[in-house]
Structure 1
Amino acid sequence: MMNNRELFNKERIEIYFPTLYDYSFKLGRVNYSKAHPPLELHVHEGMMEIVLIVKGKQIYTVAGNDYLVRSGDVFVTFPDEPHSTAGYPEDKSLLYFLIIDLEKLKTGFLGCDDKEGRLIVQSLNRIKRRVFKGSEGLKPMLDKVITAFYSDCPFKNTLIRNQISDFIINIIECERADNTLDNSYMQKVLDYIEQNICEDINVPMLAEIAGLSEARFKINFRKQIGIPPREYVLRRKIEAAKNVLKNSDITVTELAHRLSFSSSQYFSTVFKRFTLMSPREFRKIHR
């Protein structure tokens, strides 16, 4: 039997409960160390999807609207809603997704009676915010489900049902709660990056704007934004580069210098890391 370290080192885990061919829910854990191709447009018939981003960030699209989901955020799609990453690569991240059959939830497959099952489904369908802050307890619940699923415990189905029940109720409570952070200083930092995207922006400079030590700033930035500040700056520079490549004939070398990259080679390396293609390939596709 695979031990927990081997299990959680896997790039992707998917479990179906109770069985693959007649499941009430599907739980996935994705641990990408680099960008992957975009998630194609798809739907989950009769099923709701709940995504928890633990590390990193991802852009999802529903009904023509883009949603930036960061570390600690929950993203929700309702049954039969087409959604994708809208051509954006699946980013380097650690995330979980739970796809749950609401009709089966109504009938109490988690151990609750039909009345409670209907109430839970009603509460899920009344979620108003597509993206909201989760709680620190959500990830451990899903880890326990995965651990139990691969264990020899004779009571593992009961353990799994209990953890999924707790997770769903916590999701409902998180969406109702006011989890807005006091991050006015962080907004100043993000605004500075956008307004000075062509400059050589460094972390000590950003920490000074935030009024924090460099060490504290790095911790707070990663906690709130989901990725280190240096990586965030590079990603924003690449987004700016994509707009220029689509709308002008500037050379790749000139663009690299305009965005304060040390060389065109380094710019091309970073561009490909985040988009899975070179600047020239990107321009050819989007012109």
Structure 2
Amino acid sequence: MTREHGAQPESGFRFLHAHHGRPLPELPLDHVDEAICDATHVREPHSHATLELLYVLSGRMIRTAGGKRTVIGPGDFFINPPREAHGAAADPADPPHLFAIGVDPVALAAPVFARDVDLAAAQASALVEIDPPFERRAIHGGQGAEVIYRRLLAELDRIEAADPRRRALGVAQVQALIVELFVFAARCSLAEPAVAVSAHAPERDVLRRLIGWLEGRLADPPSLAEMAARAGLSTAHFTVVFRREMGVTPLEYLTQRRIDAAGRALLEPGATITRVAHALGFSTSQYFSLVFRKVKGCTPRDWRLRGGR
């Protein structure tokens, strides 16, 4: 159920969802992707024309850049400056699931709809916060960033090509999400000393493990009570912790992941709406269509006819 746009898979590296090769010419965006490495993955030194902000959802990897080796794990961002050679290797004992975006943050620092000067200045400041020279490459405490990356990928899927007004709104939404991601990373960078001694650290570890478990339960979605029990927390406390760390409720997160998987499955040859609905644990295709439309803004049939846009 892989969705790729101009992406070439590498050995030991599998894209789950990718938009490559300047997917939106209106913005200085080079790529956005979600990928899984296997234990053998090694990436030879390479570079990008834009800054790359990488985020690790689970697992660990070794990044080599600027003559240094850095091990990054769950919740970590890693920054690669433009045109700097960098390499990577998966931890064979715990291969990573990661996200990446390549963008020129300085060129993006003038928001499309920011007519308020103070707002524009604040957004630009957050973008420049993690622009070169990057004294610290790794930023910790980014749990929950995958929600923003996935929203970006979903928005790129649905960009309207034919209607100029709809396209302009789509471009503005993508730009706003990129700004949101960089603001989030900048705030993590500024707060990092506090994260190291945070009382929430054990709960974040529990959630990281839970998120990995949920990825294997998309076709058999657990109840809120089952998720809470898996995390070892009461249902009420689990809901509070999950929303604090992820920005959405547990059931909202699970629904989004199931519909994201459904969106990719619908584009596979021979897929039917009923088959996809049942494969992802929906009792009827009618209910599946209602949920799909609420999340994606269109019916499954329209989604497929538009090629996932």
Cα–Cα, structure 1 residues 123 and 87, in superposed 2: closer, same or farther, change >3 Å?
Answer: closer
Q: Hey, what does 1:268 align to over in structure 2? A: none
Q: Hey, what does 1:27 align to over in structure 2? A: 32
In 2, Cα distance between equivalents of 1:54 and 1:90: 16
Cα-Cα RMSD: 3.6
Taking structure 1 as the reference length, the TM-score comes to 0.51
1:119 equivalent in alignment to 2:125: yes
1:180 equivalent in alignment to 2:174: no
Q: Hey, what does 1:139 align to over in structure 2? A: 146
Aligned residues: percent identity?
Answer: 17
Cα–Cα, structure 1 residues 88 and 57, in superposed 2: closer, same or farther, change >3 Å?
Answer: closer
The residue type paired with residue 148 of structure 1 is E
Cα–Cα, structure 1 residues 66 and 6, in superposed 2: closer, same or farther, change >3 Å?
Answer: closer
Q: Hey, what does 1:129 align to over in structure 2? A: 136
Contact 2:127 2:183 (8 Å CA) reproduced: no
Contact 1:38 1:89 (8 Å CA) reproduced: no
Cα–Cα, structure 1 residues 110 and 18, in superposed 2: closer, same or farther, change >3 Å?
Answer: farther
Contact 1:38 1:88 (8 Å CA) reproduced: no
Cα–Cα, structure 1 residues 88 and 22, in superposed 2: closer, same or farther, change >3 Å?
Answer: farther
CA offset digits 1:210-247 (Å, max 9, x no partner): xxxxx97xxxxxxxxxxxxxxxxxxxxxxxxxxxxxxx
Q: Hey, what does 1:194 align to over in structure 2? A: none
1:12 equivalent in alignment to 2:26: no
In 1, Cα distance between equivalents of 2:124 and 2:196: 30
The aligned runs of 1:193-232 (5 Å cut-off) are none
Name whichever of 53-62 and 134-143 sits farther off: 134-143
Structure 1 residue 22: Cα displacement: 7.4
The aligned runs of 1:245-284 (5 Å cut-off) are none
Contact 1:132 1:174 (8 Å CA) reproduced: yes
Contact 1:38 1:90 (8 Å CA) reproduced: no
Gaps of 5+ in 1: 187-214, 217-287
Taking structure 2 as the reference length, the TM-score comes to 0.48
In 2, Cα distance between equivalents of 1:140 and 1:73: 14
Structure 1 residue 88: Cα displacement: 7.5
Gaps of 5+ in 2: 5-13, 161-165, 203-230, 233-309
The aligned runs of 1:71-150 (5 Å cut-off) are 71-85=74-88, 92-106=95-109, 108=110, 111-112=113-114, 116=121, 119-125=125-131, 127-150=134-157
CA offset digits 1:159-215 (Å, max 9, x no partner): 2222111111111110110311469xx9xxxxxxxxxxxxxxxxxxxxxxxxxxxx9
Size of the alignment, in residue pairs?
178
Q: More relative contact order in 1 or in 2 (CA 8 Å, sep 6+)?
A: 1
1:66 equivalent in alignment to 2:66: no
The residue type paired with residue 88 of structure 2 is T
1:56 equivalent in alignment to 2:62: no
Q: Hey, what does 1:157 align to over in structure 2? A: 171
Contact 1:36 1:90 (8 Å CA) reproduced: no
Q: Secondary structure at the match of 2:196?
A: coil
Cα–Cα, structure 1 residues 118 and 132, in superposed 2: closer, same or farther, change >3 Å?
Answer: closer
The residue type paired with residue 82 of structure 2 is P
Contact 2:57 2:98 (8 Å CA) reproduced: yes
Contact 2:2 2:16 (8 Å CA) reproduced: no
In 2, Cα distance between equivalents of 1:21 and 1:152: 12
